[in-house]
Amino acid sequence: IIGLAFHEYAHAKVAYKLGDPTPKMQGRVTINPLSHIDVLGFASLIFVGFGWGVPVQINPANFKKRRRDELLVSLAGVAMNLLIAVIFSFVAKFMVMGLGYEFLSGNLGYILWTMINDIIIINLALMIFNLIPCPPLDGFSVISEIFNIKHTNFYWTLYRYGNWILVGLIVFGVTSRILSPCLYFLYNLLNTWIIY
């Protein structure tokens, strides 16, 4: 809930700040999860292990610098997931240093530690997953703006079949081969730099 809601909120907030009133008019510039959670996407997250929120709709015509602003909006969600992971890594460090291992070994401490650890892992996973350059993920929007390919047939072909391509990547385990090593690397990096 934290990861999905804040991810979509970041998209909406940045788009609104850059001059597009569309997310504001649709009630998306809020951290209220009810404004962002897709029922099917959330159920998928719980039962299958990956999920999605309701995509934030934007109108790029409202941006002053269209390519730059669309790129910033695309990056906002994954940047928010990384920020949440870093913040909760500091919370984990506080628990270790302030409350001690004796508290963490108890029932309440173990539950809190597990929750915080899961928040870190899930937000890192959401960040990495969304950076995969396949529509409708943010990574595809980032690549499209950097290389300016929106006016090519290649872009529209991928965009048209993006959902099916993504499902295929998930079913055949391609996404997990990308996700697992990246998640392991970033999680250990945060552990090394912050928690311990």
What is the C-alpha to C-alpha distance for residues 5 and 193, in angstroms, rounded to an integer?
Answer: 27
CA dist., res. 143 & res. 93, Å (int): 35
Q: What is the DSSP string of 1-53?
A: -HHHHHHHHHHHHHHHHTT--HHHHTT-SS--GGGTB-HHHHHHHHHTS---B
- Residue 103: both structure tokens together: 């508290």
Residues labelled as active-site residues: 8
Please calculate the CA angle 190-192-194 and round it to the nearest 5 degrees.
Answer: 60
34: nearest Cα among 58, 9, 10 = 9
Supply the mean pLDDT for the chain: 91
Global confidence as pTM: 0.91
User: Per-residue pLDDT tens for 16-66?
Assistant: 999 999 999 999 999 999 999 888 888 877 777 667 789 999 999 999 999
Q: Give tens-digit pLDDT for 125-160.
A: 999 999 999 999 999 999 999 999 999 999 999 999
List all residues 6 or more positions away from 64 whose beta carbon is below 8 Å from its beta carbon: 18, 19
